[in-house]
Amino acid sequence: MTEPQSVQAYIDQTPSWPDGTPTPSVPMTSMQWRIWVLATAGKFFEGKVVFMTGVALPLIVEEFGLSAAGKGIVSAATLAGIMVGAVALGGLADTYGRRRMFVIEMLVFVVFLAGLTMAPSVGWLVFFLFGVGVALGCDYPTAHLVISESIPSRDRGKLVLAAFAFQAIGALVGTALGFVILTLDPSLDAWRWMYGTVIIPAAFVVCARLFVSDSGQWLMSRGRRADAERELRRLLKRKPQYPKQVRLAERAGSPHRSHHRHGSWSDLFNRKNRRATLLASVPWFLQDLGTYGIGIFTPTILSHTFGHGTGNAHNVSALIARDLQGAKGAALVDTLLIVGIVAAVLMSDKVGRIRLQVLGFIGCAVGLAMAVLQSHVEEPMRTLLLFGGFMIFNLMTNLGPNAQTYLLAGEVFPTHIRGKGAGFAAAFAKIGAVLTAFAFPVVLAEAGTDVLLTALIFTSLLGALITWWFRIETAGVNLEEIGR
């Protein structure tokens, strides 16, 4: 009979040849791949919905006659929902389990998305956008946890970031889809079709998530060893079967089931976890100021810089023409998001999370500085600097802070508060995204592009400094060892 081991030890285990030589790796099981694919869906939908707003926004502004402040409220509604959902619902994964919240969040997403396509007024529009954001906010910690707690430690960074890459793919698809729909249906109602294309795929994901295995690490943290062994057997089912038996051991010093700790929010700020909380949340906040501001308003910034703002459109046809031009430019810039996240997937476990995050923040500052310089030169250098700067920004943000902040937030906390920690970090970050989304239209109209971009250069450099100051490297670390 095999000796009892921990959940992660079984997941990390590799078979050996008869002479005792270990094999290089063990292929992922079908359940592990299923969990990964279904977790990528949430990131894809987030990228698609949030960044498609950049194409939909001019149509929404025209249909409902929004002011600059109203435009900011609509832009910020989804991000505000993400902020609330991450902290209010994300932490529930620590209480009710990873799988249960994995299903509920996507169901909420479908319901509010359906309402969004039929919104009759600005009030309902903001309400449904907020609800969509709440669901996506819950997905931030939950999707990370269901992946990271079900795969080998050596592959964790690679596969979590590969799933996160679908946010960039969703951003590109959302922008491109907005362009296609506008081309096929050049009317103010086209924005409803943009959001409606997500409903059926999301409903399919709800059904599929019902049948994945639950987290053995979470079940063990609740003292449910028999349930954890059953779910681990489901997770590791393969042919030929390996391991043949699953016998889980209680961690040294772990209390009995009736005394298992239910992590509280205050645990995030005690002496033991405070450093992790600062590292997970503050750089992410600073990163979101730039990523969502540039991401959502790239079409607007490009139009504003080159003198084709929607304010110059005297009819619906002219408005849609300008929107199409902005969408094409944004799609070109957004391709670098995918290049950046691919580089992050390949380099994160080798170079380390902290180094890439610091390097990425500095690279973002360089790209933004190039975009600022465009106002001081003539064509064609002006266009080259603006597009080149935004493309470098997108490349470096996804290589560094956009990817690594998400990865670190789900790794630096112990199991019993991992959902709360990742949820708090995501929620705190979205405060920055909401502020940016609300303030960008107003500041852009009053102060211009240079002021905005210069401020983001400062926040990027500050993000690099704080990351290095509070650094905790988690590459290759067994998650069960975190917080010991």
**Span 7-35, pLDDT tens digits:** 988 998 887 777 777 777 778 899 999 99
Three-class DSSP category at 326:
helix
Three-class DSSP category at 262:
coil
Q: Give the range among 130-134, 156-160, 327-331 with minimum mean pLDDT.
A: 327-331
- pLDDT tens digits, one per residue of 204-238: 999 999 999 999 999 998 889 999 999 999 999 98
- pLDDT tens digits, one per residue of 262-297: 668 888 999 889 999 999 999 999 998 887 767 655
Residue 260 has pLDDT above 90, yes or no: no
Residue 149 has pLDDT above 50, yes or no: yes
Q: Looking at per-residue confidence, does 443 or 245 come out higher?
A: 245
Q: Give the range among 54-58, 151-155, 334-338 with minimum mean pLDDT.
A: 334-338
Q: Which residue has the tokens 């810039």?
A: 333
Q: What share of the chain is helix, strand, coil (3-state, %, to 5)?
A: 75, 0, 25
Q: What is the identity of the amino acid at 232?
A: L
Q: How confident is the model at residue 259 (pLDDT cuts 50, 70, 90)?
A: very low
* pLDDT score, position 308: 47
Q: How confident is the model at residue 255 (pLDDT cuts 50, 70, 90)?
A: very low
Residues contacting 245, CB < 8 A, separation 6+: 1, 2
* pLDDT score, position 309: 47
* pLDDT score, position 175: 77
- pLDDT tens digits, one per residue of 442-478: 776 677 677 878 888 999 999 999 999 999 998 878 8
- pLDDT tens digits, one per residue of 87-121: 888 778 888 889 999 999 999 999 999 999 999 99
* pLDDT score, position 318: 55
Q: Give the range among 138-142, 250-254, 478-482 with minimum mean pLDDT.
A: 250-254
pLDDT above 90 covers a percentage of the chain that reads: 34
* pLDDT score, position 164: 83
DSSP H helices in 65-121: 68-88, 92-96, 98-116
Contact between 293 and 437 under an 8 Å Cβ cutoff? The reply is yes
In this structure, what token pair is assigned to residue 422?
């990742």
For the ranges 65-69, 315-319, 321-325, 423-427, the one whose mean pLDDT is highest: 423-427
| CA-based nearest residue to 141, from 208, 186, 96, 205 | 96
Residue 482 has pLDDT above 90, yes or no: no
Three-class DSSP category at 260:
coil
**Global confidence as pTM:** 0.76
Q: What is the identity of the amino acid at 484?
A: R
CA distances, 337 to each of 122, 126, 303, 342, 385 (Å): 31, 27, 21, 9, 18
Orientation angle between helical segments 316-351 and 381-399, nearest 10 degrees: 50
Dist CA 272 CA 260 (whole Å): 18
Residues contacting 205, CB < 8 A, separation 6+: 38, 41, 42, 106
Length of the chain: 484
Three-class DSSP category at 252:
coil
pLDDT above 70 covers a percentage of the chain that reads: 86
CA angle at 260 for the pair 257 and 261, rounded to the nearest 5°: 165
> Is the bond into 18 cis (omega within 30 degrees of 0)?
no
For the ranges 50-54, 146-150, 320-324, 334-338, the one whose mean pLDDT is highest: 146-150
- pLDDT tens digits, one per residue of 339-379: 888 898 889 888 999 999 999 999 999 999 998 887 777 77
Dist CA 322 CA 299 (whole Å): 9
Count Cβ atoms within 10 A of the Cβ of residue 15 and give its class: 0-12 exposed, 13-18 middle, 19 or more buried. exposed
Contact between 106 and 69 under an 8 Å Cβ cutoff? The reply is no
Q: Which residue has the tokens 């992410």?
A: 284
* pLDDT score, position 385: 85
* pLDDT score, position 215: 93
Contact between 371 and 389 under an 8 Å Cβ cutoff? The reply is yes
CATH for 7-12+28-247+264-472?
A: 1.20.1250.20
* pLDDT score, position 329: 56
Contact between 286 and 429 under an 8 Å Cβ cutoff? The reply is no
Q: Which residue has the tokens 């002021």?
A: 451
In this structure, what token pair is assigned to residue 33?
């791949």
Q: How confident is the model at residue 324 (pLDDT cuts 50, 70, 90)?
A: low
* pLDDT score, position 279: 96
